[in-house]
Amino acid sequence: MSSIAVLGCMWGDEAKAKIVDFLGDQADVVIRFQGGSNAGHTIYLNESKYVFHSVPSGILYPQTMCVIGSGVVVDPASILEEISLLQAQGISFENRLFIDERAGVVLPLHRILDNRNEAGATKIGTTKRGIGPAYTDITARIGIRLIDLAYPEWLSQRLVNLYARHQVELAEQELANQLKDLEGFWQQLKPYVCQTDLLLYKLYHEGKNLLFEGAQGTLLDICYGTYPFVTSSHTMAGGISTGAGVPLRFTDKIIGVYKAYCTRVGDGPFPTELLCETGNRIRQQGNEYGSTTGRPRRVGWFDAVAAKYSARINGIDRMALTLLDVLSGIEKLKICTGYWHQGVRLEGFPTHHLLLEEVQVEYLELDGWDNDLGGIKTLSKLPKAAKEYLDAIQDCLEVPIELVSVGKERSQTIVIKN
Ligand code: IMP
């Protein structure tokens, strides 16, 4: 038995779902432990496209169970829509999807608050899905959790109190409408809701393989990310235990997913950002547009300083490097190997975003390659320059690369035996 975690290690959108899907046949259970409908995980399989926001992408394997842990915030309307879209694509959920009853509920109010925050001076470029405000309410102990939907009178009082606390008006008719909606959502979600910590405990002790699927990325972690330009959950490995209710020892191996270059959506520092034709070209070649919001992603060179920081705090055992094929045709490639500030080479990754915005970047320049990598199945068949690029990243991070993705399809994945 072996349980693994697949974590995004930069600012999200590292194509984690592709890696989860590739490893999915070894997993009996795939578990989401943080985030919510802000996530956008896309899988291409047999020329069909599947988009996931809250449902673990392991649902594509008919025998795999999928768990949404208590660390996730669930938007009932959005997850029900996602379930019905996937059902229309032939996916069955019966006895396969389990949602923790403690998961926080994202309400229409949270979207209102998210939009309000984004219209003001504290804007950070969120997905406007209400994620931050929903987590804030949970932390403030005024939030609504899924199990609250089973207690209508309590729920009604909680809603009234919540709106009052946020000084948002809630007319009587509106309260009645929301309670009616929530009652309808609860009837549909109830069959999936349970204590998933207990379920995972039993499955683990039955010898089942668990796969923890991270959402967003380490540099968006609420504490260790580029605060305040972060999401509101613990995206790093430490979030697995609290977000899924499992002991730390349940994770045997951590795979860190990195893109062959960097991207970021939303505001915040991005030392290797390419505000030039090369950046536009990578954006086009990599179709770098958000799967949740459609926003163009900011693009930059691979940042080994930031990458090494996230490898360290997650305890990455192996790397999966994705979208290598996107770099084909770019004559010279760069990898950031150091940050400088006021003539001093910095140790590690700065905490304050104002310092990160000011760093000068030291680059290692490497030759690119022209070949289309999409059909390559083994490391030895990669162009020499591509192998050198992988070696350089490995050397910087001091972590072996185990998987290289060279295309969207499950089959376009190179396995490197270490
Ligand atoms: P929020 O999670 O919607 O509150 O957004 C906070 C920050 O995280 C913003 O910069 C978003 O663009 C970013 N973010 C949230 N979810 C994702 C994701 O799935 N991929 C990449 N960035 C994300």
- CATH number at 209 reads 3.40.440.10
The answer to whether residues 155 and 207 belong to one domain is: no
Assign residue 122 the CATH number of its domain.
1.10.300.10
Is the same domain home to 357 and 287? yes
Asked about 166 being catalytic, the answer comes back as: no
Same domain, 124 and 56: no
Q: What is the mean pLDDT of residues 198-212?
A: 97
Domain boundary among 207, 225, 254: 254
Last residue of a domain, one of 254, 283, 303: 254
Which atom of ligand 1 approaches the CA of 268 most closely?
A: 10
Write the Ramachandran bin of 168: left for phi over 0, alpha for psi from -120 to 50, otherwise beta: beta
Distance 127 CA to ligand 1 centre (A): 6
User: Do 226 and 355 share a structural domain?
Assistant: no
Closest atom, ligand 1, to C-alpha of 39: 19
pLDDT at 43 over 90: no
Cα separation, 337 vs 303, whole angstroms = 7
246 and 298 assigned to the same domain: no
Domain boundary among 189, 205, 230: 189
With a 6 A CB cut-off, is 39 part of the ligand 1 pocket?
yes
pLDDT in tens, 122-153: 999 999 999 999 999 999 999 999 999 999 99
Domain span including residue 283: 259-415
- Per-residue pLDDT band for 1 (boundaries 50, 70, 90) equals low
| CATH number of the domain within which 278 lies | 3.90.170.10
The answer to whether residues 148 and 174 belong to one domain is yes
Q: Are residues 89 and 159 in the same domain?
A: no
- Does residue 292 share a domain with residue 226? no
DSSP strand pairing (97-100 vs 413-415): unpaired
Domain match, 9 and 82 both: yes
172 & 240 share domain: no
Task: Compute the mean pLDDT over every residue in the chain, rounded to the nearest whole number.
Answer: 96
Q: Specify whether 13 is located in the same domain as 124.
A: no
Question: How far lies 370's CA from each of 202, 281, 325, in Å?
Answer: 50, 14, 10
pLDDT at 216: 97
What is the total count of domains within the chain? 3
Could you read off the pLDDT of 71-81 as tens digits, one per residue? 999 999 999 99
**Quick one: which of 185, 103, 111 has its CA closest to 152?**
185
13 flagged as catalytic: yes
Do 94 and 171 reside in the same domain of the chain? Answer: no
Based on the number of CB atoms within 10 Å of its own CB, is 350 exposed (0-12), middle (13-18) or buried (19 or more)? Answer: buried
